[in-house]
Amino acid sequence: MRCTEINRETKETQIQLSLNIDGSGTFQGTSGISFFDHMLTAFAVHGGFDLHLQMKGDLEVDGHHSVEDVGILLGQAFAQVVDKKQIARFGSFYVPMDETIAFCALDISGRPYLHFDAAFTNPSAGALDCCLVEEFFRAFAMNSGITLHIRLEYGSNDHHKIEAIFKAVAHALQQAVTLREGSVLSSKGVLA
């Protein structure tokens, strides 16, 4: 089973996170930001991942440290549990959500990169600052070693836009972490 537990403690956040990428698609716990929890639930369900989060963040400041640090830990957890020699490596997925379509393409290559092409109309969705969506995925990509491309094709409702992005990333990840037979999927014989 591909699972891990990881902790991070700073002056801004204290986080315990566990991840099972061969799970049943459940999220337990809370970040303290309800809309972000809703997105983590969508991520877990649509990726088939079990994700458990216990944390305390400096939400009296704002949500930045909490959201970014969850991205850091989730990225580190993926890096720990994914054996790049045994996976499909690539994934891509479109998610339609009412008037919105989001797309994600990714490569679990060991070379972290984020291209994030999405604009939001409002400053926040619920208590989640919309600008933190990009920060979350940047922290995730940099700490997981994943090349991650996210594009919002179109949409008008920020809730739908953000949720479609999280679901597209989850489905693309599920494809990429699928186990396969044979040697590492690279013409040079190694990834990174």
| Maximal C-alpha separation, the chain | 50
List, for residues 24-75, the tens digit of each pLDDT value.
999 999 999 999 999 999 999 999 999 999 999 999 999 999 999 999 999 9
Looking at per-residue confidence, does 83 or 167 come out higher?
167
> What CA–CA distance (Å, rounded) separates 168 from 173?
9
Arithmetic mean of pLDDT, 173-185: 86
Q: What is 3-176's CATH topology? A: Ribosomal Protein S5; domain 2 (3.30.230)
Give pTM, 2 decimals.
0.95
What's residue 179's pLDDT? 92
What's residue 106's pLDDT? 98
All structural domains of the chain with their residue ranges: 3-176
CA distances from 22 to 44, 61, 101 (A): 11, 36, 27
From 65-69, 94-98, 182-186, the region with the lowest mean pLDDT: 182-186
List, for residues 122-134, the tens digit of each pLDDT value.
999 999 999 999 9
Average pLDDT, the chain: 95
What's residue 180's pLDDT? 85
What's residue 187's pLDDT? 62
* Contacts (Cβ under 8 Å, ≥6 apart) of 187: none
Arithmetic mean of pLDDT, 81-96: 94
